[in-house]
A and B are shown apart, each in its own frame.
Chain A
């Protein structure tokens, strides 16, 4: 049985398949039709709901896409839909009122999703600025308004405040107590199809040994599409999104549990790798960053996953576990060839170990047709160490240039041991052409991938050469 709170009702489900989505449950099962299906792949945000969960004993509410949130992954959560929203006097919530006042809806189909995303922002950010609002809305598409009135509504609601009187704030302790009383582990099935939520990592290890062919589901930002688009069976589905959340910052390295989401990882980035903060904000939209995990982004093995190039450049290692046996390997060795990783049956990624950067210069860049919430056509991570004007170490890894994320060995060789000068980076820019034979596809042509790969070396030099000319585009107003 899985248990969760849906608005103000406790749900106990004894029958559900691992591929049942929250969105279908809401619309078809409960008649909660305010949450819309726009794309069924986590890209448009029309299905945005808030998912509240216990984190260190307190409630954390985050906007997520109901279309690719599996119902089983709602266990021990508080699902808040548009129908639950209300203002202090029982009328419109301040976010809803601001949307009406600023003409923030036209056709209205995307509107409930926008309201929920903005509500999530309003709850967690006092008086957000325009860039914060835009960042929160990267996962919400509107085709009618051009967004201007929606951003104005968000600004106005932010200025108005009122979070302390908000209904969810007032309910928080009670909700937390109810969720706390629910068991961490759970299992549910329909017919032959099973969804298993292990109570802890040790149980996960045992379950995967028993079911080596199980589909491991973390944030479901990719597995969700296997179900909604390819209609693939995923039973038994082993749900791990609630596990492996540890983040340990040591003197030399940072250990990240594989279940840490992009959003949970963000403070680590801010504190230890601030150079790549903007890169992380180009991964998915907010809803995706709230669901997707670092471990999933690696284990999934995609050649265009956003974190592996940077992590490889940083020299990250991963810990793979099967039963009680663990092995550790450099991340780059995990990717064998397109579609194949060094993960054995019953094994799972448990921890990502990231060396701290020390005095190294680091960077991560990506290119995509749209700057935000677009899968990269090409991405890169740099880690360059310089001592006494000489490049002592160069690690550069690319995504989108080959069937797997891979280091640019020739370009690295063009840098290592050379003076830290424009000429060295110009040489690397020329050398990288022979490192890869990229594809032409709908994201980019091979020629463009080559051109950008080379230019990323030029950008790295410009950014790190102490020049005061602007090197990057700036989204903030008033430069």
Chain B
């Protein structure tokens, strides 16, 4: 047995635990599970208008269609018809009397096959009384500014007094688009009814506990009757934090009603139409600064398109304000959020969770000042970076600032100064020669606060079993969505026992093993669950040490865990032998671990506290070429230096950084959500909604982790969260495009590109700055 040889210590760059299953197609996703006998399929019927009252529903043709067993409407939900994650009761599973956006689920068809259910769903005749709709934040403001959730204000100092006194002032507006998650695996739920009030759900959610609660509410049963299982997701990115609740509730209601298993998987288009996305914002800002480019005062209003219900919009718009400063000290500041209700799908969590829409405004502020004072944007950035001890707009002191070192190292490794000059020279030559290709370069930072801002979510549990053969089963509250969470947690437990990874099996996440979990979100998966798993492992380890002390008449200092063995003085005992001995001596070989993040607290009403345990940092330098005849661009090169503290698995962390960067670039370039005047989302499939391809990534892509960084706080192995922060490094591309655009007017004017910078927006900005179309030389 391999176990019995001296296993090599766990290598940090160990591949994803499912890598071999991924590449062979043997990794099971929810749609791949073998269905129980007699399983049924559900399909959702979506509203065909944007806002209105349902006068009547004629579902006879649906019921009469081949294979149809049942049609569920709001009236068929035995418990609460609501999936609001904050208990606001504004998020119906199936529309009840009123539809609030185009594509809202109104009814569910249950049939023998998915195709039958899907075909039948198109046969409904619903009579609506249309009501006026508002689609975007500006329209919502004009219509009276109804809020989905209460807004927040962060204030420090007196910006209203400081702004008029500032030597220079700029007011501007920034329109920032949303983003579809485009996880490759769509939403999906499989519900299997059990005896009495029980139901078991297999699904692809980031938040099994919330699904458990929602299903229990929908069925009107206690939480202990509902089990939710997640082996892995085909991508999540925040899009499966709350959005899966509805699908699970429908499947569960149907499964209990018919006592047959029910699977619900929407088509990609329906998934994109009916589920929430990244919030788009319109931001109005006022900045006061001096001639040297130092920020003196900032005021800003963040108007968000929240959609028809609250969902997570409060926390998302809060986080936009928490990151309205990105990495810069604002001496006098007031920022306000306006989470506006619109007749669009309810926007939700998406990697960065509002943070990117704060950070990018801070970077716009830097650009405004740089173009206004004729400086390199990087110089303005450096002049305004936080120094340790300075207070954020929410009165948390910055204590772990490492951006000066990151900037210095990245500037050198990417040869910033020389390349920036080369870009300027190139543009000057092209200006003279009438060449259409312009270049731009930008180096932008991120500082990202780590912790759920709802403090109570910052807790986690884990369950570690050692079986009598010495094999270890590991379970924790986090979900695997590709980020390698299970791999990292297994590494932590393997290292605790000094055993190989082949001894450890991480099982599916299930509410049966670890209860009351938080969403795998806010980049917190490893921070929280890693600590809980380590706590469980350490409890067992202590018992083993106690047992060996007794059995071998040794002291704890004489016991060492070495690769796959335990050394007691001069005796080396295989790990599995130790386990066998401990079992025979009636030692408990399993433990539940727990962790709660220390130090954090937050008072939203006062806008004060320490919402974040620590900050993660990073920076990227991107150079682009832009075709000023069409607005197209390519990323010539990107260099990233990112802070993950002491990395638990540098290969996985690098993968997160690269993937987040490209996803962030997509948000700001080719990914455009486009609603028509009737309120229909028209970019609702990959044929119309364009996420980056392999050929869209930087031609040269150098990604490095700041190996010297170590978390100042006592996190797991002194690592830092990595899921979200590097998403915002994509802003370097956005700003480099702006730099190239600005070249057509000799950098005199801030390009003020709105996001996403589609080729259309780029060309229109070029023509605006140039004052019209280009004229050919010699014409």
Contact = CB atoms under 8 A, between A and B. Distances in A.
Interface of A: 27, 33-41, 43-44, 46, 81-83, 85, 92, 95-96, 99-101, 103-112, 115, 133-135, 137-138, 140-151, 225, 228-229, 231, 365, 367-375, 377, 421-423, 425-426, 429, 441-445, 447-448, 451-452, 454-456, 458-459, 461-462, 467, 469-477
A135 B672 CA distance: 23
Contact of A34 (B26, B483, B696, B777): B26
Interface stretch (B77-85, B431-439, B493-501): B431-439
B143 to A, nearest CB: 24
A372 B122 CA distance: 33
Given A108-B18, A422-B776, A473-B627, A147 B25 contact: no
Contact of B759 (A44, A82, A369): A369
B672 A134 contact: no
A441 B699 CA distance: 31
Interface string B675-701: 010000011011110111111110111
Given A369-B690, A441-B682, A471 B436 contact: yes
Contacts, number: 298
Interface string B633-663: 1100000000000000001101100111111
Interface of B: 15-16, 18-29, 31-32, 118-119, 122, 181-186, 232-237, 267-269, 430, 433-437, 481-484, 625, 627, 629-634, 651-652, 654-655, 658-663, 670, 672, 674, 676, 682-683, 685-688, 690-697, 699-701, 703, 758-760, 763-764, 767, 773-779
- Of the candidates A443, A454, A476, the one having the most CB atoms from chain B within 10 angstroms of its own CB is A443
A349 to B, nearest CB: 24
Contacts of B233: 107
B686 A371 contact: no
B16 A43 contact: no
B436 A459 contact: yes
A367 B630 contact: yes
A141 B685 contact: no
A101 B703 CA distance: 18
Given A106-B482, A421-B778, A147 B690 contact: no
Contacts of B629: 452, 455-456, 458-459
Contact of A108 (B234, B268, B658): B234
B776 A475 contact: no
Contacts of A137: 693-695
A144 B182 CA distance: 10
B437 A473 contact: yes
Given A426-B776, A447-B764, A451-B773, A145 B659 contact: yes
B682 A103 contact: no
A41 B695 contact: no
A66 to B, nearest CB: 12
Contacts of A104: 23
B176 to A, nearest CB: 17
Contacts of B774: 455, 458
A467 B20 CA distance: 52
A33 B779 contact: no
B625 A473 contact: yes
A369 B16 contact: no
- Of the candidates B20, B122, B237, B659, the one having the most CB atoms from chain A within 10 angstroms of its own CB is B659
Contacts of A425: 776, 779
Nearest to B671: A369
Contacts of A452: 629-631, 763
Nearest to B16: A105
B763 A448 contact: yes
- Of the candidates B118, B182, B481, B776, the one having the most CB atoms from chain A within 10 angstroms of its own CB is B776
20 contacts: A33-B31, A34-B25, A38-B186, A41-B687, A43-B686, A106-B659, A109-B234, A140-B694, A144-B659, A231-B122, A369-B690, A371-B695, A421-B778, A422-B777, A448-B760, A469-B434, A471-B436, A471-B437, A473-B627, A473-B634
Contacts of B701: 146, 148
A76 B564 CA distance: 55
A477 B21 CA distance: 33
Nearest to B698: A148
B410 to A, nearest CB: 18
A146 B778 contact: no
- Of the candidates A46, A150, A451, A459, the one having the most CB atoms from chain B within 10 angstroms of its own CB is A451
B17 to A, nearest CB: 11
B699 A107 contact: no
B24 A369 contact: no
Contacts of B28: 33
Contacts of B483: 106
Nearest to A46: B184
A145 B625 CA distance: 23
B184 A36 contact: yes
Contacts of B767: 451
A36 B235 CA distance: 13
Contacts of B690: 368-370, 374
B268 A39 contact: yes
Given A104-B23, A442-B672, 18 more contacts: A41-B687, A83-B25, A96-B20, A103-B651, A103-B654, A106-B659, A109-B185, A109-B235, A135-B695, A144-B655, A148-B701, A229-B267, A365-B630, A374-B670, A422-B779, A426-B779, A448-B760, A451-B764
Nearest to B756: A369
Contact of A107 (B25, B437, B482, B685): B482
B658 A146 contact: yes
A320 to B, nearest CB: 29
A422 B779 CA distance: 5
Given A105-B16, A134-B693, A141-B693, A99 B23 contact: yes
A377 B186 CA distance: 27
A155 to B, nearest CB: 12
A11 B576 CA distance: 49
A120 to B, nearest CB: 15
B687 A103 contact: no
A442 B674 contact: yes
A367 B760 CA distance: 9
Contact of B697 (A100, A148, A445): A148
B234 A469 contact: no
A37 B764 contact: no
A472 B687 CA distance: 25
Contacts of A225: 687
B687 A100 contact: no
B705 to A, nearest CB: 14
A442 B23 contact: no
B655 A112 contact: no
Given A41-B268, A108-B482, A151-B694, A371 B632 contact: yes
Nearest to B764: A448
